[in-house]
Copies of this chain bind each other. A is one copy, B any other.
Amino acid sequence: MALDHTASGVYVIAPTPFHDDGRVDEASTDRMTDFFMEAGATGITVLGVMGEAPKLDQAEALSIATRMIKRASIPIVVGVSAPGFAAMRALARGSMDAGAAGVMIAPPNTLRTDDQIVTYYRQAVEAIGADVPFVLQDYPLLFQVQMTPGVIKRIVTDNPSCVMLKAEDWPGLEKISTLRAWQAEGSLRPISILCGNGGLFIDFEVERGADGAMTGYAFPDMLVEVVGKLQAGQRDSAHDLFDAHLPLIRYEQQFGLGLAVRKYVMKRRGIIASDAQRKPGGMLSAKAVAEVEYLLGRLAQHDPRAKV
A-to-B contact residues, CB < 8 Å? 53-58, 60, 82-87, 89-90, 109-110, 112-116, 119-120, 123, 126-127, 146-148, 150-151, 170-171, 173-174, 177, 200-201, 203-204, 208, 236, 239, 243, 246-247, 250, 254-257, 278-280, 285, 287-288, 291, 298
Contact = CB atoms under 8 A, between A and B. Distances in A.
A85 B174 contact: no
Binding site of A, secondary structure by majority: helix, strand, loop or mixed? helix
A137 to B, nearest CB: 15
B247 A123 contact: no
A56 B255 CA distance: 31
A170 B146 CA distance: 20
Contacts of A110: 109
Nearest to A243: B247
B148 A113 contact: yes
A289 to B, nearest CB: 12
Nearest to A288: B173
A203 B250 CA distance: 12
Contacts of A84: 53-57, 278
A147 B116 CA distance: 11
A252 B37 CA distance: 34
Contact of A298 (B112, B239, B288): B239
Given A109-B109, A250-B250, A287 B173 contact: yes
A236 B256 CA distance: 28
Given A246-B247, A247-B243, A298-B239, A177 B146 contact: no
